[in-house]
Amino acid sequence: MNAREKILNAIAANQPEAVPLPVIDKDTVISYNDVGMQFNTMLESIGGKAVCIQDLQVLKESVNADKATGKFIVNTIEALGEVDEYVSSLSAAQLEKLEKAYIKGTVGVAENGAVWIYESQMLNRLVPFICQHLVLVIDKKDIVPTMHHAYAKIDTAQEGFGVFIAGPSKTADIEQSLVIGAHGARSATVYIIE
């Protein structure tokens, strides 16, 4: 038995007893009078922008106008027009000039302004992180109060990858100076369909 195996065996032999996960009563955790309003407030407090719309017509026009500029725009939402399926096979180098991406979210979280996106919704897992401007679309009915509620609504094993995204990329690691867009999108706008 080599040193590695000895270490792994010692770790395996000294594991604490397994205990069941706690049962959380989601009705007793944080609640909000208006989850939509709370979501908007939190998103804007972390640098994002929330826009309430009645239907997708505004976004259809926005996608068409963005694509008419000749910039690299990706639409992953079938309801907004032609889906840019070809991005699923593009590399980071090929996506480097991605200006804006439109992606449908699954659930929004009022307590932190986050939106869950499955990999199939982004077509390529690089898209929401490499674009300059991220546009997420969720239905108002899919906004839940807390992360507990969100995890109850999503299936993390459904696909190989998924992510909660909350606002634009931010860091203050360098001299405690806030930098927006250092590790991802410079702006994040969430369109909420009423």
The CATH number of the domain holding residue 39 is 3.40.50.10420
* Across 33-45, average pLDDT: 95
The single residue listed with the structure tokens 């017509």 is 57
- Give the pLDDT of residue 91: 96
**pLDDT score of 151:** 92
Q: What's this model's pTM, rounded to 2 decimal places?
A: 0.86
pLDDT in tens, 106-149: 999 999 999 999 999 999 999 999 999 999 999 999 999 999 99
128 lies in which domain range?
29-193
Mean pLDDT to the nearest integer, 46-57: 94
Confirm whether 13 is domain-assigned.
no
Does residue 165 form part of some domain?
yes
The two beta strands, 170-171 and 179-180, are antiparallel
What domain count does the chain have?
Answer: 1
Where residue 18 falls (left for φ over 0; alpha for ψ -120 to 50; beta otherwise) is: beta
Instruction: Decide if 112 is inside a domain.
Output: yes
